[in-house]
A = this chain, B = another copy of it.
Amino acid sequence: MIFKELDGGLSVIDNLKVAGAKEGKYGVAVIVSENSDASAVFTSNKIVAAPVIYTKKVVEKGKVSAVFVNSGNANCFTGNQGIEDCESLVELVSKELNIPKGEIAISSTGVIGRKMPLDVITGVASKVFSSLGNKPEDSLAAANAIMTTDKIPKQCALEVTLTNGEKVKIAGITKGSGMIAPNMGTMLSFIVTDGVMESKYINKALKKAANKSFNMIVVDGDESTNDTCLLMANKASGVNIVNDGEIDPNFQEALEYLCIDLAKKMVKDGEGASKVIEANIYGAKNIDEARLAAKAIVTSPLFKSAVFGGDPNWGRIVSAIGYSGADVSADTVTIAIANKQDEVDLVKDGEILAFEGTDNLLRAEKIMLGEEVIVNVDLNKGDGEATAWGCDLSYDYVKINAEYTT
């Protein structure tokens, strides 16, 4: 075992303090991890929120000591006022926690195009500053505070045994429920390790992990303006994660596991979601095409509706991979539907095995009625492989998003 799961979220990391509080639809979380090396990945949306613009500049310098996050208002499309609001909050955090302004990252999630209610946010913030701690309930409070339409707080913590036998910890909290896709969705994720790792390596490790996790989940196909995933290394363990210029492979594997775990928790808690879809593509021409095909399946509103209804309408898988942009031929493709107990071939090397009335279609229907639907597709075109995760499209998705601001 190169890593094991721990309870307690961010609280497993030494030299870290965290807290969170909510008041009505507004929440604040603060993570203090002094003198951390850091890097982050952000949304690729061309309209980005003020805190993304602000925090990009902070992170470029490679050092973050505290993160201030608010939910309820995205501080997006708020012009100069938005940047000024970021600066006011940073000034507040700096004064309260005695941290240099240049080492404070800021992050927001919530409604776009509304001014920040600074008085409300600072009111909640004052409670958070006074309750910073390093107990499991502190991490949980932070994970709770950053939720918007999320129903459950999401966190994950691991202890990793590096290749040289030394141990480091890594832990993260995340929020995200709608607007998840195609790149990072509306998600905020804050991950801390107690290992030693310069920001350029953090950047490399994080990008690789994000491409296999946060960038492979879809709730609805919308992409947010505020997405941020920040990884900090606070050196509390004194253990080097990078040796001779190489990131320890066990750490990389654990980071990817943690990111995938957080990502899967997001789709499971997707707006209105009642089921999780996993799409595995094998045999694509290359990895990029595999990613396209995997994401097309978990994005298709028609397939997502079919999963909601438990309808084994696998023609919609065919249709989705057909328009995905990946190279697909009707006479080579193999498609199976599975869950943990069963796997049934629907199409084998282009030959249909699940016509009306067949046993295969009945078994597929049984799988489709379950809470987890796995789609395995072999395109038989090359070596490209990828996995994407998504959720079904339900009445509740529509209900939640028809009534969001009103």
Which residues 355-406 of A have a CB within 8 angstroms of B?
355-356, 365, 393-395, 397-406
Taking a contact as CB atoms under 8 Å apart, the answer to whether B402 and A319 are in contact is no
| Residue pair A222, B300 in contact (C-beta under 8 Å) | yes
Please provide the chain A residues from 312 to 367 with a CB less than 8 Å away from any CB of chain B in the complex: 312-316, 318-323, 326-331, 346-347, 350-352, 354-356, 365
Copies assembled: 2
Binary B-proximity of A26-62 (CB < 8 A = 1, otherwise 0): 0000000000000000001111100000000000000
- Considering the complex, give the chain B residue whose CB is closest to the CB of A47: B322
Contact between B355 and A114, CB atoms less than 8 A apart? yes
Could you tell me if A308 and B111 are in contact, using CB atoms closer than 8 angstroms? no
Question: Which of B352, B365, B393 interacts with A78 by CB under 8 Å?
Answer: B352
User: Would you call A319 and B395 a contact (CB within 8 A)?
Assistant: no
A10 to B312, CA, bound (A): 38
Contact B402 A318 (CB under 8 A): no
Q: Does A194 contact B (CB under 8 A)?
A: no
Task: Say whether B224 contacts A319, CB under 8 Å.
Answer: yes
Known: A300-B222, A351-B79. A406 touches B311 (CB 8 A): yes
The contact size tier of chain A is: 35 or more
Decide: B401 and A315 in contact? CB cutoff 8 A. Answer: no
In the assembled complex, the Cα of A224 lies from the Cα of B318 at a distance in Å of 10
A111 and B313 contact, Cβ closer than 8 Å, known pairs A398-B398, A401-B306: yes
A315, B111: Cβ atoms under 8 Å? Answer: yes
> A406: which B residues are within 8 A, CB to CB?
309-311, 365
Find the residue from A47, A310, A395 having the highest chain B CB count within 10 A: A47
B77 and A112 contacting across the interface, CB-CB below 8 Å: no
CB distance from A72 to the nearest CB of B (A): 12
B403 with A302: CB separation less than 8 A: no
Taken residue by residue from 71 to 89, chain A's Cβ proximity to chain B (1 for < 8 Å, 0 otherwise) reads as 0001011110000000000
Q: Which of B77, B112, B365, B401 contacts A301 (CB 8 A)?
A: B401
> Are B352 and A79 in contact, CB atoms less than 8 angstroms apart?
yes
For residue A107, CB closer than 8 A to chain B, the reply is no
Query: Does A178 have its Cβ within 8 Å of any Cβ on chain B?
Result: yes
- Is A45 a contact of B225 with CB atoms below 8 Å? no
Residues A222 and B319 in contact in the complex (CB < 8 Å), given A79-B331, A402-B309: yes
User: A179 an interface residue at 8 Å Cβ cutoff?
Assistant: yes
Contacts of A403 in B (CB 8 A): 309, 311
| A221 within 8 A of partner (CB) | yes
Sorted nearest first, the 6 A-B pairs with minimum C-beta distance are A112-B315, A309-B402, A47-B322, A305-B401, A223-B323, A113-B315
* Chain A interfacial positions (CB closer than 8 Å to B): 44-48, 74, 76-79, 111-115, 178-179, 182, 220-225, 299-302, 305-306, 308-316, 318-323, 326-331, 346-347, 350-352, 354-356, 365, 393-395, 397-406
